[in-house]
Each structure stands twice: as structure tokens, then as C-alpha cells.
Structure 1
Amino acid sequence: MAALAEPQINGPHDDTSDTQTARISIEEATKVCQNALRKAGYSGDHAAIITDHLIDAEMRGHPFAGLARALSIIDLLKSSDMKADKQIEVTRNGPTFAQLDGHDSAGYIVAREATRIAIEKAKAVGVSVVGAENFWYTGNLAYYAEMATKEDLVIFIASNGTPIVAPHGGYEPKFCTNPFCIGFPSGDSTQPVIWDIGTSNIMYAQIKLAERLGSDIPEGSAFDSDGNPTTEPLKALQGALTVWGGHKGSGLAMMIQLLGIAAGSLEPVPFMSGFGFLVLAFDPGMLQPIDQVKQRADMFSNSIRQTKMLPGESPARMPFERSIKSRTEAREKGYITVPRRVIEQLQEQDL
């Protein structure tokens, strides 16, 4: 991906309905983000890779995982001895597997490369497993799953990280928000079925955005260091997030932590370092004709959408439908709505 020329940065478009937010064109937001990341030391290619991921998160309605995350990346680089651009190394490689060492790179770059390799191998031999270690921040796993579903592959992704979530019934952090994702192709490559969840009630990025904007986090999402419920971002960061789904979600989070260990993560995982990322991809065409698989998947999806709903309930939908709708609408409008302070801080990186 070629680096972009230096863009002319303009102010965000006014959104008079809310002085705390601003409308900014997707093109302009992309330039602002790439510029800020290049100023932080990323190459044009790597800045473009990270920005594409963050803009996609914004368009899909996940602002906490969007442009604000670029500021967190820049803050982390400034507050540590980390360097922006690192060489990703393939340490093990075979027809169906690979292992990557990110050498303390941002996970957006490492996970994308791990997924690319997994897709390449699964397309060649039918199945693949790829692990990655030694990185930080993974982003939305759905982003990587969509890379695979476009190639008619089924994909499973798990990632672990720094302990910030307490097991069910506790208040001491033992594992990360530990996202898990499954992607499945459909008859329309632009309408895949992708289930991407974090195993905590809120994500780390939501806390960081709340901290940056001076707002509270939802009740029931965190404890302070003494085990008291808190809605204050700083106290939550010093304490622990609550796990999603009670003991069932807690068990899933623990297993994802172990899958990250299989991928090469350290234990315990240090602060913003030593994460693990595991990808398993396969071609369902090995088991059934691919057209049949996609046709039956579409039949199932349509059946779900036709579910008779209880009074007051919205129509049933398949995972990722809302993201696709939000992204389509953003592209049609040509702009996204972002906290004004986030845009201002990104532009300030240019000063």
C-alpha cells in the first residue's frame, strides 16, 4: 500500500447539534489520522494499515475503537521506549502453519499479516493455523475475519492481552478483555456473518475514550482496587473490569487466555506488551460444495430474520448486519461524527 502525499488539513465540519462532536469527511479523517501516525514514526504503509482499521471501526459505529485509538497508540509510544516501526518476523513456517514475532509492534499490523498468511495457506491447502506473539493492541477482530470471508473461508480468531478483567465473582484482574471472533461466508461477499465479542462488559478502549473525554463508564462494568463498583475510568484502570456472561463468559475468557498462550503470549502478559493472537482458517469447500454451503448459510440467515418476535422486540438479525448497515450509511453520507477533542488532538500532532 503506497504512502499518501501530505494532505492539506482542514478543520472538521461544524455539527451544530452537539458542540462536543464534529462531522468530518471520511477522506479528511483518513488524512488526519495518517498524518498523526507518521509524525509518531510510522511509515506511510503502516500508518495507512492502522488508519484503515480505525476508520472502519468509526464507520461501523465503534468510536472507542476508532480514531481515539490512534491517540492511545501515540501516547503509548511517547510514554515508553517503544519504536513505531518494527520488523515482523516469521519464526516458524510450514504448509499449514506459521508463527510470527511482532517484536513489540502494534497489533493492527501484526494481526493483519498473521491473517493474510492464514488466508494464503488455507486457500492453498484447505486449512491453516497461525499464531502471533510480542505485540500490543489488536483492534476489532471482525476486521480480520472479513478478510477471510471475502475469500470464502471460515475463520476463528482469539486474542489475549494485559490482565484488566476479573473472573466472575472476583475483583482482581487476571485476564484481558479477550475478544473472540468467528467469521462465515455467505452468498454475498459483502454480507458475511461475523460474530465478534469481547469477554468483558466493556472494552479497554471504551475506558480510555471515557478518560480522554472526561465522562463516566457504565454502571456494573468495573471495580476499583478495593472491589467497590465504580463508574470512574481512572479507578477502573486501577481496579478491574467485570466479565461478560457470568461464569460462562468467565470460562470463555479463560480459554481465550490459554489460546493466546498457545500463540506465544507471555504469562502473565505485561502491560501493553507480549499479547497473543491465534487464527484458524479453513475452506468449507473441503467438506461440502462451497455454493451449497453458502446457499444453506443464506437460508439459515433468512430464517433467523423471519423469527416471530415478542412484543416490543426489534426484528432478529444476524451478527455483523448492524455493522454493515452503519458502514454503508457512512460511506453514502461521506462523513463520520467524531468527538471534537479527538480530531483536535490528532491535528495537534502535526504542530
Structure 2
Amino acid sequence: MTALSLPDARALVMAAMTACGHSAGAAETIADHLLDCELRGLSFGGLARALSIAERMRTTEAPPRPLQVVSETPVSATVDGGDQVGYLVGMHALRLAMAKARAQGVAVVGARNTWYTGMFSYYLEKAAVAGLAGMIAGSGPAVVAPHGGTEARFGTNPIAFGVPATPTPIIWDIGTSAVMYGEVRLKARLGEKLAPGQAYDATGTPTLDPAAALEGAFGVWGAHKGSGLALVVQLLGMMTGAAADPPGVSDCGFFVVLFDPGVLTDRDDYRQRVAAFAESVRATRPIEDGHAVRMPFDRSAARRNETLRRGAIDVPEAVVAALRAEAVSG
């Protein structure tokens, strides 16, 4: 592992992103998202993802197009992402949704023709800090087999919910696959194995090889219940106009619903009641020899604070070397 100071890590990502064609502003947006993942210990969505972005852009012939709002009402909008990376499209969709939710109390925004939208908790934290509650669901290329099957039909299909609270928002963010796409790509890059039961190869045989899994299918999370949730998330993503099974890494659906709790109740009182309820959950008697009960996002917030105090992150040497090569390739 290589220890990188946080400023050096940010500069490295920005250099790689500008080298592959992004403006300085776009590179900053991408770097902020990837660094937040690293701060929270989610390395599969961190600096290694910058390599996947550069590789995808290098192997795509048509250049990305400008973002375009193709339909809009006071409470809704549909965004064509122009095949730009999802970190940029997701932030554009979030800003639209936040503005509409502030003005109208509720907003539904969908985006399509994008890819790699990142951690939905990243977006929902920004909404929750602004006092808004919401949900984000996302569909993508078929890489996950439904329960009982070995052929890909779903995307990894993350879904997340966020609610404003003090001192940190309540955010529950999960993928509906047994292993996330970024984890598989990172393990393939580092020559590591998958855990048993996470994936199948192209013949439907269980595999620990991430490269074989990328040619086959990942398992679904949560057996038949997780499979049902994955199906619903796929349908929500398709509501943006995204394809059910787009080719390669493309045309992910990004479905955002935000609302102001103040349209239903006193928003300050609600925030206080949420905080009190969260404390009651944390105070639950743990199982014998177990750890204290946590609320969703507690671990992420604590890990981020710890990493910020340290001022550095540990990144695989192979990832750092590849990023430095990307940074000078432009």
C-alpha cells in the first residue's frame, strides 16, 4: 500500500481526470466524490474508480455530449446525461431536485445516458444537510442474476434513503447484488479472489475469479427478498428512460425523489424526533459479546472523521502507479 496525503490524492485524481478530457471543474466534482469514498473506507468506489473512468473514456469512440433537460415540470425533470460520467450527471440531477423540492415541497428527477453514478449516500447527505429527505434508486447493465438463476438480468441496482438528523443524517445505502461492480473490478485489477457464493462464470458455475464473474453474473443479495427489491429498483431506473439491459457500461438510470418534511409536519420537530429515535436505536441492548448497535451511516461518518484526522489514505501501489501513468498520458 502507498500512503497518500489527502491533498496529494485529490491532485492525482484531478490530474488523471483532466488528462482523459474533463474540465478542471468536472475533475474537481469527480475527485470530491471519489475522495469521500476513500475517507469512508469504501476503496472500491475511491481512487481505483478513476482508472475505470479513464479506461471507459479511452475505449469509447463518440465523445460525450452536453447534459440536456429533455422534459420538465415544476416538480419534475428528466435529464439526458449525454453519455457523461454519472458523478457529473448525478450532481446535476441532485441540484435540480433540491431546487424543486425547496420550491414545491417535493421533486422527482430522472437521468439516463450516464454511467458510474457512485455512492448514492454522497448525494443524499448533501440533500439531508439542506433539510430534505429522499430516495435514490439506480439501474444499469445486466450483471446480476435473479434469485434461483445464474444468468445476468439486473444491474447491481443500488437504492438509498436519507433523512435529516443531528448530528449526522440517517442514510441507508445498499447495493442489491452480493458484491458490487466496483469491488469486482478492483479485485480483478489487483489479482484478488471473490468470496464464495458471490458470482458465476459464463457457464453458470460458481466462481471466485473476478474476471470470470465479469463475463458471467454476480449473485443477488438477500435471496428472494433481495431479488424482489433488485427488480423494483430496475423498474424505477427504467422510468428515467434508461434501457433494461444497455450494452457495456452505459445508460444507467438515476432516479431521485426528494421532499421537504415541512410539507407534512413541523420540520424542526421532526428532525429532533428523528435524532431521539436514532439514539434509542443506538441504546438497544446488544447481543451477548456483540458490539454497540449503530444507525446507518454512523460507521461512514466515524471513519471519515478518523481519516480526516489522519490526513492520509492507503491506496494499493498498483492503483497509484496506474493513476500516475494516466495523469501524464494526456
Counterparts of residues 114-193 of structure 1 (less than 5 Å): 114-188=93-167, 191-193=168-170
> Which residue, 186, 203, 215 being the options, matches 1:238?
215
Partner SS for 2:327: coil
Task: Give the aligned partner of residue 270 of structure 1.
Answer: 247
Q: What does the per-residue CA deviation read over 1:115-144, in whole Å, with 9 as the maximum and x for residues that have no partner?
A: 111011101110000010111111000001
Partner SS for 1:349: helix
* Matches of 2:296 and 2:309, distance apart in 1: 22
Contact kept? 1:216, 1:232, Cα under 8 Å: yes
- Consecutive unaligned residues of structure 2, counting only runs of 5 or more, are none
Task: Give the aligned partner of residue 70 of structure 2.
Answer: 91
* Matches of 1:294 and 1:187, distance apart in 2: 7
Task: Give the aligned partner of residue 25 of structure 1.
Answer: 5
Q: What does the per-residue CA deviation read over 1:50-72, in whole Å, with 9 as the maximum and x for residues that have no partner?
A: 11000000000100000000000
Task: Give the aligned partner of residue 280 of structure 2.
Answer: 303
Task: Give the aligned partner of residue 44 of structure 1.
Answer: 24
Task: Give the aligned partner of residue 225 of structure 2.
Answer: 248
Task: Give the aligned partner of residue 10 of structure 1.
Answer: none
One-letter code aligned to 1:195: W
Alignment length, in residue pairs? 328
Contact kept? 2:54, 2:326, Cα under 8 Å: no
State the Cα distance separating 1:171 from its structure 2 match.
0.3
One-letter code aligned to 2:15: N
One-letter code aligned to 1:77: M
Contact kept? 1:82, 1:104, Cα under 8 Å: no
State the Cα distance separating 1:82 from its structure 2 match.
4.2
* Matches of 1:347 and 1:300, distance apart in 2: 47
> Which residue, 236, 239, 248 being the options, matches 1:259?
236
1:337 aligns with 2:314: yes
TM-score in terms of structure 1 length: 0.92
Q: What does the per-residue CA deviation read over 1:166-224, in whole Å, with 9 as the maximum and x for residues that have no partner?
A: 00010000010000000000033xx1000000000110000100011111111111011
Partner SS for 1:248: helix
Task: Give the aligned partner of residue 80 of structure 2.
Answer: 101
Q: Which has the higher contact order (CA 8 A, sep 6+)?
A: 2
> Which residue, 75, 91, 95 being the options, matches 1:112?
91
Partner SS for 1:263: coil
* Matches of 2:81 and 2:252, distance apart in 1: 10
Task: Give the aligned partner of residue 47 of structure 2.
Answer: 67
Task: Give the aligned partner of residue 55 of structure 1.
Answer: 35
Calculate percent identity across the aligned residue pairs. 43
Q: Structure 1 segments of 4 or more deviating over 3 A?
A: none
Moved more, 86-95 or 128-137: 86-95
* Matches of 1:254 and 1:271, distance apart in 2: 20
Contact kept? 1:187, 1:298, Cα under 8 Å: yes
Partner SS for 2:239: helix
1:322 aligns with 2:322: no
* Matches of 1:342 and 1:268, distance apart in 2: 30
Contact kept? 1:111, 1:132, Cα under 8 Å: yes
Contact kept? 2:234, 2:244, Cα under 8 Å: no
TM-score in terms of structure 2 length: 0.98
* Matches of 2:293 and 2:90, distance apart in 1: 31
One-letter code aligned to 1:277: F
Partner SS for 1:52: helix
State the Cα distance separating 1:269 from its structure 2 match.
2.1
* Matches of 2:62 and 2:44, distance apart in 1: 23
Contact kept? 2:30, 2:87, Cα under 8 Å: yes
